[in-house]
């Protein structure tokens, strides 16, 4: 595993921790949180990464592109795909729009 992959894994682990703390306040039941986790795990790793950096890290598309070394358009398309998939998987569970 490269240093960059280790860094990404640590960042995602940290962001998953933030997700739990932040989302518990917004979700009515523990089951909803578990449903969200399962839905996130169904995303491709590169979609998880950009989605969590945007939603929980509060980074701009440009900041994410710079950190990951990918074009801004790629960041936007990955976030869009992640949102579509999560909305589909979380119908009836999430209170806020992704």
Global confidence as pTM: 0.62
Q: What kind of fold does domain 3-89 have according to CATH?
A: Arc Repressor Mutant, subunit A (1.10.10)
How much is the pLDDT for 90? 81
Count how many residues are written for the chain: 98
Residue ranges per structural domain of the chain: 3-89
b/e per residue 32-67 (b: at least 16 CB within 10 A)? bbebbeebbeebeebbbbbbbbbbbbebebeebbeb
User: CA angle, corner 88, sides to 65 and 25, nearest 5?
Assistant: 75
Tell me the pLDDT of the chain averaged across its residues: 78
Q: Is the pLDDT of residue 94 over 70?
A: no
At 24 the pLDDT is 45
Percent helix, strand, coil in the chain (nearest 5)? 75, 0, 25
Question: Could you tell me the pLDDT band of residue 77, with boundaries at 50, 70 and 90?
Answer: very high
pLDDT tops 70 at residue 35:
yes
Calculate mean pLDDT across residues 29-50.
83
């Amino acid at each position: 595993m490269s240093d960059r992959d280790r860094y990404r894994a640590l960042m995602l682990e940290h962001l998953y921790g933030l997700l739990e703390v932040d989302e518990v306040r917004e979700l009515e039941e523990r089951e909803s949180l578990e449903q969200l986790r399962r839905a996130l795990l169904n995303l491709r790793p590169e979609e998880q990464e950009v989605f969590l950096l945007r939603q929980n890290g509060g980074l701009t598309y440009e900041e994410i592109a710079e950190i990951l070394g990918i074009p801004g358009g790629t960041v936007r398309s990955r976030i869009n795909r992640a949102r579509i998939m999560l909305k589909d998987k979380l119908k009836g569970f999430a209170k806020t729009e992704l």
